[in-house]
Homo-oligomer: A and B are copies of this chain.
């Protein structure tokens, strides 16, 4: 079993996509994370769901969740609205993540090791200079527990 047997189409967002749209895509399609592509359609970064959420949470709340508690419930409910038109490019963390990217021939064990090390529940599959789709943790586990 190789990445080519496990991959599926996976939606992407661009660097100029508003964060609110990225969050909506994640929610509506129950995705484990997002692939952010560059102008060539290749992975620029791959964000686990928690890190998509991170783009939407004010920095002061991340550093000290006690500060999140001072925001009242009505305002807390609307935290995504505060994003307005902020784009993925503007909200991305400064540090670059190791990209969980594999080729079509990656084995189940390679994909699992990559997910474990990069803390990413999805791996983008790139070959011949284009993005073929992604292998998700669920797809990999579903097959691995049957083996």
Residues of A at the B interface (CB closer than 8 Å) are: 1-2, 20, 23-24, 26-28, 30, 32, 48-51, 53-54, 56-57, 61-63, 65, 68-69, 71-73, 75-81, 106-110, 112-121, 137-138, 140-142, 144-145, 147
> Would you call the interface of chain A mostly helix, strand, loop, or mixed?
helix
Which of chain B's residues have a CB closer than 8 A to the CB of A80? 144-145, 147
Q: Determine the distance from Cα of A65 to Cα of B25 in the docked complex, in whole angstroms.
A: 31
Q: Determine the distance from Cα of A28 to Cα of B145 in the docked complex, in whole angstroms.
A: 9
25 A-B Cβ contacts within 8 A?
A1-B76, A23-B145, A50-B118, A50-B119, A50-B120, A50-B121, A51-B116, A51-B119, A53-B112, A53-B115, A53-B116, A53-B141, A62-B116, A62-B117, A63-B117, A68-B109, A68-B113, A69-B106, A69-B107, A77-B147, A79-B112, A80-B145, A80-B147, A81-B147, A119-B119
Which of chain B's residues have a CB closer than 8 A to the CB of A77? 1, 107-108, 144, 147
